Amino acid sequence: MSSTMKMVGDLIFNRLEGLIKHKRTGEVLFKIAPRFAVQMFLKSYPSTHNIDSTGVKQGGGAFKFHKELVEHAVKVVFQAVCGTPTATDATVRVELYDLSAGEVVAYAEFVGEGGYKEVELDIDDLKARDKHNMWARFNVVTASATSGAQQVWNSALIIIYYDFTK
């Protein structure tokens, strides 16, 4: 048998295909997806924020992180989605924030623009944050000179990619 197969008693596990078969009959007893992604939404509804002053305007999606969540991950990304602002001279960061450590883990930066942004996270850094409280937040780091300027924050999520064929 190759290294992609493991036999336990009368069962054969093929990790590349995610199959568990009976050795003698060849019957597939169980099939799992060996590669998949999990999306964890921290914010999934639109909210409008003034961007004519600096500071954190909103936070959400607080959760306690556990290292087991990324133990078998091959890639983890933080994704943020914002609408086009009414003025283009502000800088906004949608941040993944570690409330326990009081620091930004990662951020997607929007400079006078909207759209989708993804930032890859360091899996070892995440494992070190075991049992830390985390959340996403909308932070204006450079204010617009236009009074009443606004931007919509649509969503923030973490996407965890798993590959059990490795």
Tell me, yes or no, whether 64 and 85 share the same domain.
Answer: yes
Tell me, yes or no, whether 28 and 44 share the same domain.
Answer: no
Tell me, yes or no, whether 28 and 46 share the same domain.
Answer: no
Tell me, yes or no, whether 45 and 72 share the same domain.
Answer: yes
Tell me, yes or no, whether 23 and 80 share the same domain.
Answer: no
Q: Where are the alpha helices (DSSP H) in the chain?
A: 123-127
Distance of CA 4 to the CA centre of its chain: 29
Q: Which domain covers residue 13, as residue numbers?
A: 1-32
Tell me, yes or no, whether 11 and 82 share the same domain.
Answer: no
- Judged on CB neighbours under 10 Å (0-12, 13-18, 19+), 96 is buried
Strand-pair partners of 6: 13
Tell me, yes or no, whether 136 and 92 share the same domain.
Answer: yes
Tell me, yes or no, whether 67 and 148 share the same domain.
Answer: yes
Tokens of 114: 């909207």
Residue by residue, pLDDT tens for the chain (166 residues) are 446 788 888 888 887 788 888 888 988 888 888 789 999 999 999 999 999 999 999 999 999 999 999 999 999 999 999 999 999 999 999 999 999 999 999 999 999 999 999 999 999 999 999 999 999 999 999 999 999 999 999 999 999 999 877 6
Tell me, yes or no, whether 119 and 145 share the same domain.
Answer: yes
Tell me, yes or no, whether 44 and 4 share the same domain.
Answer: no
- Report the alpha-carbon distance of residue 71 to residue 132 in Å, rounded: 16
Q: How many CB atoms lie within 10 A of CB 66?
A: 14
Q: How many domains does the chain have?
A: 2
